[in-house]
Amino acid sequence: MVAEHIARDRTSVELFAGGGGLAMGVERAGFRPLLFNEFAKYACETLRANIAKRRKADETHDPSTGDEAPLVIPAPGDDIPLVEGDVQGLDMAYLNGRVDVLAGGPPCQPFSLGGVAKGDEDKRNMFPQMFRAVRQMQPKAVICENVRGLLRPSFKPYFDYILRELEFPFVERVPGSSWQEHDEALKAAKERGDVAADKRYDVVMTPVNAADYGVPQIRNRIIIVAFRADLAVDLDTFRKMLTPQYSEAALFRSILNGEYWERHKKVPKHVRDRVTAGIPKNIPLDNGTKPWRTLRDAIEGIDVEGIKLPPLPPISWKKLDRVDYDPDGLRYHVGWPGARIYAGHTPNEYDRPAKTVKAGVHGVPGGESVMLTDDREPDPQSPTGFRYKHRYMTVRETARVMTFPDKWQLAGPRGEQMRQLGNAVPVLLGEVFAKAVASALDDAESRA
């Protein structure tokens, strides 16, 4: 039985913060951020524009000695410090015992199969820095997001090693040793069972599709959550809290029974007929789940916990010219020319969740940021005599399918804005997992 949520001053630290998706989700779940760290220039500018304050030189160094002065833990209501630059130079020991959740999506660059087999690891892999942060802070919980590719069979031995290292972060790797040698030391520590409970973690790894959690986007990722073992968190109850609440089957049924079209009354009949005709005949049970949210839901305004967003204004076909005609109104909702559809580059459809947002100027390859619209034009080669017109999604539309609020500012040119969105954790997905972590901690602490 999960304890009723108790108001506490829960705290968090965000490493590899990027454009702020996971950070915002964690904060919405009730965690007060104490520190952000990010390396990329434009992502840092985005964080400063929305939720953080850059550490100035005179705040990070003692002018009398030139030595680096310790960071200060912000009080409720204070500006949140953003340390820009390489996490490897960041000392977080001052936060020991003060952090409920350490969150972040550490970059894990692809490893060649031969390289992993030989123990040769890409220096851009930042998981070791996440484990160093755990040792310095000893947070109550850790939340990591990463790509589903880590689960591929060829990578499994190394990924299992990553999970074991998070389980035993204080069993440190001997300098110069291979990851295989360190993995054997981790396995031996687990077999001995002699690592103190406050120096080890209980790890839960969950493959997710963001659409199953209310995000209007197909986005397959893994979320790794770890709880400090001395807290004795009920992991079975925690896993149940992560049960998906949305499904494709429920979306299909809502289209067929008309509930979906009740939300979207202005959709032309030819669009409704086309979408309905594409529903498979055999729909699996939806087990009481809610319908997946769609790209149309995002653009027309998603109802999230009673908050209704206004519909985004239409983009004129005459103004796909990169010009913002309303700079004082809705930002980043700008038409862009040159969208194409071809084999392997198929578009998003309004009445499905969006395709995975990727970190590229236009989301290529795969047509991830090209979308079919309800508008059509004559096409004598089409069986219907018409074809549907397509265009690039705007940055604001893309932000909506990542569940960022419309007020969220994005730094840099379009390409950098799209890169930040493609690298981010959808805000709603981060919030779902962070709320489950908060409830699990509440439950554990109420039983302590």
Known catalytic residues?
108
Look at the block and give the residue holding tokens 């409920």: 100
For the chain, the straight-line distance linking the first and the last C-alpha, in angstroms and rounded, comes to: 14
CA dist 437 and 435 (Å) reads 5
Q: How many other C-beta atoms lie within 10 A of the C-beta of residue 232?
A: 15
